[in-house]
Amino acid sequence: MRAVVQRVSSARVTVAGEITGEIASGLLVLLGIAQGDTESDVDWLAQKIAALRIFEDDAGKMNRSVVDVAGDALVVSQFTLLASTAKGTRPSFNAAAAPALAIPLYEKFVQQLSATLGRPVATGRFGAMMDVALVNAGPVTLVIDSRVRE
C-alpha cells in the first residue's frame, strides 16, 4: 500500500462536476493499493498517517499530528501510484490490486482513519475519473509505503 500524503490548507475532489469530498486544513491522502496488500497494511498505514507530526507547533516546528490540530482528511484512490516505468516509457500498472481486493481495503482504510481522527473522512469515488484540487501548505509532501515501513 502506497500513499502520497500532502499537508493542505484546502483540498477538493470532483467527479463529473459533483464535489464528492472537500476539506479545509488537514491531509490529502492519495492511496494506491498493491496486489498482496492486507488489512495489516491498512492498520499500519492509517495509524502512521494519523500520527505523522507534520503540522507546526507554537514554536513553528513540525511537531503536531493531524489529530493534535483537529485537522481533516481527504482520501483519494489512485492506482497509478503503483506504476512501474522499468520498461520503456509506458507505465505498467500490473502491481496495482484488482478492484475486488482494492475496494474493500480502500474502504477499510477510510474507516480506520476516520476512527483514529474521531470524525468522518472525505473521499473521492473509487475507480472514477476525478479532478483533485488542493493548496499544498508548506509545501509538505511525503511518500509512505507499507512494504517499506520506515
| Residue 80 annotated to the active site | yes
| Residue 47 annotated to the active site | no
Q: At what angle do helices 39-51 and 99-117 cross, to 10 degrees?
A: 40
Active-site annotation holder among 35, 80, 93, 111: 80
Span 60-105, pLDDT tens digits: 999 999 999 999 999 999 999 999 999 999 999 999 999 999 999 9
Q: Which residues contact 46 (CB under 8 A, 6 or more apart)?
A: 109, 112, 113, 116
Domains in the chain, ordered, with CATH?
2-145 (3.50.80.10)
Span 14-72, pLDDT tens digits: 999 999 999 999 999 999 999 999 999 999 999 999 999 999 999 999 999 999 999 99
Q: H/E/C letters for each residue in 86-99?
A: CCCCCCECCCECCH
| Residue 126 annotated to the active site | no
Active-site annotation holder among 79, 112, 116, 123: 79
Active-site annotation holder among 78, 112, 116, 123: 78
> What is the pairing mode between strands 2-15 and 18-23?
antiparallel
The pLDDT value given to residue 29: 98
Flag whether pLDDT at 150 surpasses 90.
no
The dihedral through the CA atoms of 136, 13, 49, 102 has a sign that is negative
The dihedral through the CA atoms of 41, 42, 43, 49 has a sign that is positive
The pLDDT value given to residue 149: 84
